[in-house]
Each structure stands twice: as structure tokens, then as C-alpha cells.
Amino acid sequence: MVMQQLSGWGRTAWTVADVVHSTDPGQIAHTLQTVGERGAIARGLGRSYGAAAQNAGGVVLELTSEHDPLGIDAILDPITGTLDVASSVSLDSILRMCVPRGWFVPVTPGTRFVTVGGAIASDVHGKNHHFDGSFGQHVSSLTLMLSSGEIVELSPHSRPDWFWATVGGMGLTGVILRATISMLPIESSKVRVETERLPHFDAVCEAMSTEGDDGDYRYSVCWVDLLATGSSMGRGVLTRGDHAKRSDVSDDEPLAYDPRLRISAPGWVPNGLLNKWSIKAFNEAWFRKAPSKRHVGMESIPAFFHPLDGVNKWNRLYGSQGFIQYQFIVPLNRTDVLRKVIETFSAAGVASFLAVLKRMGPQNPAPMSFPTEGWTLTLDIAAGIKGLAELLSRVDAMVLDAGGRHYLAKDSHVSPSAVRRGYPRLEEWMNVQHQMDISGMWRSDLARRLGLIDSRRNS
Amino acid sequence: MKNGVGVAQNIVLFGGTSEIGQAILDKVVKPGVSRLVLVSRDIDTSTSMTQKIAEAHPDIDIHHVRFDAGDAASLSHVVSEVVSEIGDIDVAIIAQGLLNEGVDNYANPEALIEMANVNFTGTMVLMYALAARMKSQGYGKIVLLSSVAGARVRKANAAYGATKAGIDGFALALDHDLQGTGVSVLVVRPGFVTTKMTQGMKKAPFSTDPQSVADLTAKAIASNKTVVWAPGILQWMFLVLKALPQSVWRRLPL
Ligand SMILES: Cc1cc2nc3c(=O)[nH]c(=O)nc-3n(C[C@H](O)[C@H](O)[C@H](O)COP(=O)(O)OP(=O)(O)OC[C@H]3O[C@@H](n4cnc5c(N)ncnc54)[C@H](O)[C@@H]3O)c2cc1C
């Protein structure tokens, strides 16, 4: 038994749990037999921002295999690009293994340090959501251990309700052990990227809305400067692109891939280092750095997809009080709400370094999957800001009134009623969850706060 | 559960009619709070005191539990009762206390025993019960309203000061004992606070009011401090006062 303090990537709301590290199904099943009334939850690399992968006073099953001496537990079919992989394997390991062979992950979040288990449980999305959908749509089957210890095979064709309840199910249906993923063929490890500076928010929405435009690019995302005011309010830098063709790159080794970490954030950082002024200066520089005319260039996979991974443990830059990430989505026709939210944060003097806007495509069948057709805005906010709880609850109401919702993998503050409004299929999901977890074993701090597990099981 | 912006979902106030306790509630009740429990001898008063919170936050579930803190032995049952009502206790604020102002302690052993029960014995039993529960939760915060009267006990309130000195020392050691469990204790040491409890008494220097104490307390809850003085200057004053030799201390007009 190793009692350990855990938090999410935002380093807020620490709680203590009994952390059991194992990727061996036999051992996990054995551990499940000892779980008490505080229950258990799976944890991957802890890249969700809030409390999704922690379980105060209970058991946390840590499924990671970064340092596995046996190497990466994954088999790639070089003809079809089908990857059979253990849930504990990270996208980082998969990319190192597969990019040189001409295959890319079908969906990657903004960091490659997530496990396959975490990617399925959060049903993560990437810059290609409008084009390819979210991670779960590329999973052809998965192996799940139920709380009873029984192992089941799920796919969109066999037991689709259990499959889709697990995709986006935040670990609350069982422990994902393995998955089969359809990889994306690539001809090079470069990305052809078009970068464009957009002077204000209308221009941003306009550029990302035009069907024949954004729709043509596999990847598209816009960085927005939340601190710009007046006529440049909501100005941004739009980047769009796709994997470069073999003929686009001159390299001898078109598939070479080297994602080495560059620098580490210092272990101790004063609170308030990232404040309104430092962020304003950063934003200005970032905006100016982007070319004023549309510019086409080649970027590496790490530079385009995972720029933050270049700084190890960058989450410490927010100091001891940590930070939260606020990510919500509103329907396509509600750009007025996006604008109102940006204005509200800006008026409250809340600085966010790297606010990101993305247009999402249609929803998949998973009841708790976050993406729906619409706009999603993501911002980082220092957790210690005065009055933050009140401010966020006002913004939450704007989002929910517009028919929007919040992303659970990022959430660290919404109320139980906010999830019920945002996820109208919650009840349906809870029924399936109940069938899958008869003993009521799975629970996380997130699930406790939001009442995602049934109130009968109230500990 | 607590959330990522420092808001505790379930908050319990022991000494539900305490003005300082109520002032702290006013500061810590924010969007994100789901359940409040007030434990006191007089639930009619605690109900009327929470009227404002109930109106401002209609979705918060407010419970009132009747209990006499003088009944030290059963304070641990109160914790189970609260848990069965609301589940996890995220933050417990202990503001129960008797001052016995105007009581002739030389002639009133019952009153002395009652005060010691409420301020010390009962509170210690309660804190162990809370700590046990919170340890099993893997997190939690106990906020103890102590007093500068316990920092160096003076003759004007020898008995009261001694109960505070005792509970204050206990609380610090309990916090130490809880290290690594996710549970922590915050000791609040207010100076002379103008409330109904101190009405008619002569104000001491550096007196303060419930709102200021509450403000400092709420901030300290969000941080990971173990001790907070209110006002802050008292910390430095007592650094000196505590170091004074007995002969000098006894001559001070305190
Ligand atoms: C810098 C950064 C950028 C990000 N960008 C994006 C983005 O662009 N798009 C996006 O969608 N997300 C993004 N995220 C969020 C991240 O992709 C998700 O939170 C992801 O789930 C993290 O995976 P993990 O392995 O760290 O899982 P954890 O954070 O450890 O766990 C997340 C959830 O998955 C569950 N889980 C983990 N492993 C298993 C398992 N084996 N079986 C069952 N359940 C399991 C946990 O119980 C928990 O509910 C980003 C995060 C960071 C830090």
C-alpha cells in the first residue's frame, strides 16, 4: 500500500489515495478484490487537469508503462495500419514506434504524454476533430476489466452501448486493458502548415467558418489573444495544415522523428509569475511573431502538435496554487456567446496564456463524449485569482444557456447541475454504467464532486 | 469534494451560532458549495443566522443539527450523524467556545468544568473524530478557532486562556500527526474580537471584528498555512510577549 498525494495536471485539489501501479490483468483483478468502500479508479499519465484520475481515500490503479523494461506492448500491422496496444502505452511511445514506419495516431491531443486508456476514457480530440472526429471513433475494439474482475471485449458492433459508455466514460465503467486502433498513413514526418494572423475576433470566426476553407484542412486551430482590447479584441493566429507528402520534403529520411525534450521548468516558482503583465507581453510577442500575410511552411510533428511538450513539467510555472483549464463548447451559431465570454474574462482582468479556439465537427455516439458540432474555447487560468469561483459560475451560465457544455477531462470546478444541463444523455449513461458496475466500485474525485456515480453509493 | 478553485463542497460549522463562525461561512460560501451543516445548542438561532445565505444561494442544502458541546463524550457521534446526512466533510470549522465572563471561577466549579469541556475536552474529542473521518476520505481541513489568550495565559482570563492554550497546542500536534494523510489543521488565533460574547468588556489593544478574522481565515484555508493570527501584527507582538521574563510579564497592565 503506497499512500500518495495526487492531483491532475493543474496541480490543484490534492488528495491522498492508495496508488497501485500495475499493468498486469491478473494483479489488477487481485487488487480489485481488496478495494473498500472508497472504491477505485484507473489513472494514466495524469494529464487531465482536474480530479478525474484521483480517488480520495480509495484505490488508484496506475496504468503506465513509460519505463517498462520489456519495451512497448504494441503490435502494428504494417499493411492495414491496425495497432493492437496495451492501454498503458503513451501516444509518445506509439509515435516513436510508428512514425518512422509511416503511421500516425488518428487523433492526438496537445500533449503526446497521455496513455491510450486516458485517450479513450476522455475521448480526446485534436486539431482534426472537424475532419476525423475524436479518438474513440478510431478504436475498433477494446478490452475492459469490469469491477467484478471479468474481462469483456467491446466494439462498436458488439455491445455498442457498453463500448460507447466507456468512450468518454472517464474510467467509471472499468479498467481499459487493451485497444485496437486504426492508424493514419503518412508519407513524411513533416506537416505542411499555413499560418495566418487575424486582426480581430470576427476575422477569426469568419476564417474558421467558411466551409470550403477550414473543411479542406485536416488540422486547424486558432490561438486567440484574450488580452487584446478595442478593435483588436479576439485577434488570433490561425494555423492549418496536413501531413506533407513525400514529394513535399527533400529529406533523405522523410519519416525521421526525434521528439526530444528541450528544457525543464524549475522546481520552485513564485506564485504570480504568470500574471496579467507577463502574459500580455508574451501574447504581443506571439502575435507579432506570426507572419502578417498567409505563410506556408514545414513543421515537425512535435512543433506542430505538441509545442508545450518541449518544456518538461511546464505546469509548475503557475506556482504552488496551480491553475485550471477552462474548456467549453457552444453551438456553431453562438459566436455571440464566445465573444461575451472573452469580454467577461477580459473585463475581469483574467489573463490566459494560450487561449485556443477550434471548430468541432459532429458528435459521435458516446453519451459523455465532449465534442459536438460547434466552437470550443480553451484557456488556462491561475487558480489563486480572487473571485474566480464567482466569475466562472457566471461564465458557466452563459455557456449552458447557449446549449453548450464543459469538457470533463479539463474540468475542476463545474457544479453537478452544470453537467446535467450540459450532458442531456447523462441519465442514459448512468444506467449503462450501473449495469457495468454492479458493485459500485468505480469512483473518482471528479465523479464525487459531480455526482456522476449514483447517490446511493455515497462515500 | 473540494474543487480546483479552492471551494469546498461540504462545510460543517461547529458552534453554529458563533458570530465569527458565521462570518467565516459568509466568506467561504461561494458557487460550488453544495451542503452546509451547522451544529449548535440552539438551532432556531442558527437557522435565522443562515437566512441570508439561504436566500443568496437557494441551491445549497443547509442542515441544522442540535448538539451541546458540553457533552464531550458524544461529540464523536455527532460526526457520524453529520456524515450520514451529507457524506464527506471537506472543511470543518470549530467555533464553539465559552468565555465565562463575569463568572467567579473561585466559586463555580461546574461552570469551570463546562467551559473546559466545551473549549478543550469536547473539542479534542471532536477533532480526533473529524480527523479519523477525514483520513479515511484522503483529504479534509479542520479549522480551529483558538485565541491569543492561549498564546501566553494571563491572570485576567486564566481558565479560559488555559483551555485555549491546551487546545491550540493539541491542534498543532494533531496537524503534525496528520502529515501525509491529506488532512490538515488550521489554527486561527484572533485577538480581542468585538462580538456579542465580548459585549460590555473592555476592548484590548489590536482588537478586531468577526469580518476581518473571517477574511484572514478564508485566505488561510485556501493556502496551506497552519497558523493564522488576526490581526497579523499579533504574531510579532506575542513573539515578544512570550519571551518576556516572568517578572516583567507580571508587571504588564494586561
Ligand atoms: C498540455 C495538454 C494538452 C492537452 N490537449 C488536449 C487536447 O487537445 N484535446 C483533448 O481532448 N485533451 C487534451 N488534453 C487532456 C488529455 O488529453 C486528457 O486528459 C487525457 O485523458 C489524459 O490522458 P492520461 O493518460 O494522462 O489520463 P489521466 O489524466 O491519468 O486520466 C484521465 C481519465 O482517464 C481515465 N483512465 C486513464 N487510464 C484508464 C484506463 N486504463 N482505463 C480506464 N480509464 C482510464 C481516468 O480514470 C480519468 O478519468 C491535454 C492535456 C494537457 C496536459
Query: Which CATH number describes the domain made up of B10-249?
Result: 3.40.50.720
- CA–CA dist B111, B103 (Å, integer): 8
Q: Which of A52, A41, A13 is nearest to A409 (CA)?
A: A52
The three three-digit cell numbers of residue A137, written as one number: 471513433
B84 touching A, CB under 8 A? no
CB A5 within 8 A of CB A55: no
Amino acid letter, B103? V
Q: How deeply is A75 buried, as exposed, middle or buried, from its count of CB atoms within 10 A (0-12, 13-18, 19+)? A: exposed
Interface of A with B (CB under 8 A): 3, 5, 8, 10, 12-17, 38, 49-51, 55-58, 320-322, 324, 383-384, 388-390, 392-393, 412-413, 415-417, 445, 448-449, 458-459
Please tell me the distance in Å from A8's CA to the nearest CA on chain B: 10
- The C-alpha cell of A429 is what? 449513461
> What is the number of other CB atoms lying within 10 angstroms of the CB of residue B188?
27
CA of A293 to the centre of ligand 1 (A): 36
Kindly report, residue by residue over B66-97, the tens digit of the pLDDT: 988 878 878 889 999 999 999 999 999 999 99
**C-beta separation of A280 from A346 below 8 A:** no
Same domain, A216 and A306: yes
A347 shares a domain with A237: yes
Cell numbers for B205, please give them.
Answer: 489593544
Q: Do A413 and B88 touch (CB under 8 A)?
A: no
Q: What pLDDT digit, counting tens, does each position of A9-32 carry?
A: 999 999 999 999 999 999 999 999
Ligand 1 in reach of A170 Cβ (< 6 A): yes
pLDDT score of B69: 80
Q: Is residue A308 part of a domain?
A: yes
- Long-range contact pairs involving A25-30 (C-beta distance under 8 Å, separation at least 24): A25/A145, A25/A151, A25/A177, A28/A61, A28/A145, A28/A175, A28/A177, A29/A145, A29/A149
Could B4 and A16 be called an inter-chain contact, meaning their C-beta atoms sit closer than 8 Å?
no
Nearest CA to ligand 1 atom 5: A110
Q: State the average pLDDT over residues B180-209.
A: 87
Residues A367 and A233 in one domain: yes
Indicate whether A58 belongs to any domain.
no
Q: Could you tell me which of A367, A412, A381, A426 has the C-alpha nearest to residue A52? A: A412
Domain boundaries defined on chain B:
10-249
- Are A275 and A395 in a shared domain? yes
- Provide the mean pLDDT of chain B: 93
In a domain, A2, yes or no: no
Provide the 8-state DSSP code for B226. S
Length reported for chain B:
254
Same domain membership, residue A110 and residue A235: no
pLDDT at B205: 75
A178: domain CATH number is 3.30.465.10
Report which protein residue has its CA nearest ligand 1's atom 18.
A48
| Per-residue burial over A14-48, b = 16 or more CB atoms within 10 Å of its CB, e = otherwise | bbbbbbbeebeeeebbebbeebeebbbbbbbbbbb
The answer to whether B3 contacts chain A (CB < 8 Å) is: yes
Same domain, A160 and A232: no
Which residues 6+ apart lie within 8 Å of B119 measured at CB?
A: B96, B97, B98, B160, B163, B164, B167
Distance CA B71, CA B50 (A): 25
Instruction: Answer for the pair A220, A358: CB distance below 8 angstroms, yes or no.
Output: yes
Handedness of CA A84, A87, A90, A91 (dihedral sign): positive
Nearest to A115 by CA among A19, A45, A28: A45
Q: B231 preceded by cis ω (within 30°)? A: yes
Low-confidence ranges of chain A (pLDDT < 70): 1, 211-215, 261-269, 454-459
Residue A458's pLDDT is: 47
- Indicate whether residue A175 lines ligand 1 (CB < 6 A): yes
Quick check: B178 contacting A, CB < 8 Å?
A: no
State residue A188's pLDDT score: 97
In tens, the pLDDT along B122-139 reads 999 999 999 999 999 999
Contact list in A for residue B223 (CB cut-off 8 A) is: 321
Instruction: Please check whether residue A311 is in contact with residue A265, taking contact to mean a CB–CB distance below 8 angstroms.
Output: yes
Does residue A151 fall inside a structural domain? yes
Ligand 1 midpoint to CA B137 (Å): 24
Closest atom of ligand 1 to A134 CA is 11
Could you give the 3-state DSSP secondary structure of residue A379?
A: strand
Residue B66 is predicted with a pLDDT of 92
User: Which residue's CA lies nearest to atom 3 of ligand 1?
Assistant: A110
Residue A124 near ligand 1, beta carbon < 6 Å: yes
| Angle at alpha carbon of residue B48, lines to B43 and B52, rounded to 5° | 135
* Nearest-CA distance B85 → chain A (Å): 10
Whether residues A181 and A194 share a domain: the answer is no
- Predicted confidence (pLDDT) per residue in A361-382, tens digit: 999 999 999 999 999 999 999 9
Number of domains making up chain A: 2
A110 lines ligand 1 (CB under 6 A): yes
Q: Is residue A137 part of a domain?
A: yes
Where is the domain boundary, A186, A207, A232?
A186
Q: Dihedral sign, CA of B171, B173, B176, B181?
A: negative
Q: Provide the residue type at A302 as one letter.
A: P
CA distance A108 to chain B (A): 25
Return the number of other C-beta atoms located less than 10 Å from residue A223's C-beta: 19
Q: Among partner residues B30, B182, B223, which is closest to A14 by beta-carbon distance?
A: B182
Res B165 pLDDT > 80: yes
Provide the b/e sequence for A346-364 (b: ≥16 CB within 10 Å). bebebbbbbbbbbbbbebb
Considering the domain architecture, whether residues A140 and A239 belong to the same structural domain is answered as no
Query: Where in the sequence is the domain holding A85, given as residue range(s)?
Result: 69-186
Residue A138 lies in a domain: yes
Q: Does the C-beta of A126 come closer than 6 Å to ligand 1?
A: yes
Helix axes B210-222, B19-28, angle to 10 degrees: 50
- The residues, ordered by sequence, that sit 6+ positions from A225 with a Cβ below 8 Å of its Cβ are A232, A234, A235, A236, A283, A286, A287, A355
The residue among A186, A204, A229 that closes a domain is: A186
The pLDDT of residue A261 is 61
Are residues A166 and A209 both part of a single domain? Answer: no
- Top residue of A19, A413, A420, A456 to mutate, by most chain B CBs within 10 Å, is A413
Distance A112 CA to ligand 1 centre (A): 10
Do A371 and A240 lie in a common domain? yes
**Residue A176: HSE in the Cβ half-sphere, 13 Å Cα cutoff:** 38
Asked if A353 and A296 sit in the same domain, the reply is yes
Catalytic residues of B: 160
Q: What is the pLDDT of residue A456?
A: 47
Which residues of chain B make contact with A400, given a CB cutoff of 8 A? none
Please tell me whether residues A148 and A170 are part of one structural domain. Answer: yes
% residues pLDDT > 70 (chain B): 100
